[in-house]
A and B are shown apart, each in its own frame.
Chain A
Amino acid sequence: EVQLLESGGGFVQPGGSLRLSCAASGFTFSTYTMGWVRQAPGKGLEWVSGISGSGGSTYYADSVKGRFTMSRDNPKNTLFLQMNSLRVEDTAVYYCAKGRIGFGEFDYWGQGTLVTVSS
Chain B
Amino acid sequence: QTVVTQEPSFSVSPGGTVTLTCGLSSGSVSTSYYPSWYQQTPGQAPRTLIYSTDSRSSGVPDRFSGSILGSKAALTITGAQADDESDYYCLLYMGSGISVFGGGTKLTVL
Contact = CB atoms under 8 A, between A and B. Distances in A.
Interface residues of B, number: 28
Interface size of A as a range:
20 to 34
Nearest to B97: A59
28 contacts: A35-B99, A44-B87, A45-B38, A45-B46, A50-B97, A57-B97, A58-B97, A59-B96, A59-B97, A59-B98, A62-B1, A95-B46, A100-B51, A103-B99, A104-B34, A104-B91, A104-B99, A105-B34, A105-B36, A105-B48, A106-B36, A106-B38, A107-B48, A107-B51, A107-B57, A108-B48, A109-B46, A112-B45
Interface in B21-56: 33-34, 36, 38, 40, 45-48, 51-52
Nearest to A96: B45
A95 B91 contact: no
Interface of A: 35, 37, 44-47, 50, 57-59, 61-62, 95, 97, 100, 103-112
A106 B91 CA distance: 9
Contacts of B91: 45, 47, 104-106
A47 B47 contact: no
A105 to B, nearest CB: 4
Nearest to B99: A47
Interface string B89-102: 10111001111111
Interface of B: 1, 33-34, 36, 38, 40, 45-48, 51-52, 57-58, 87, 89, 91-93, 96-104
Given A45-B40, A47-B100, A107-B51, A95 B45 contact: yes
Given A47-B100, A105-B91, A109-B47, 17 more contacts: A37-B46, A37-B101, A44-B89, A45-B38, A45-B40, A45-B91, A45-B101, A47-B98, A61-B98, A100-B51, A103-B97, A104-B34, A104-B99, A105-B34, A105-B51, A105-B52, A109-B45
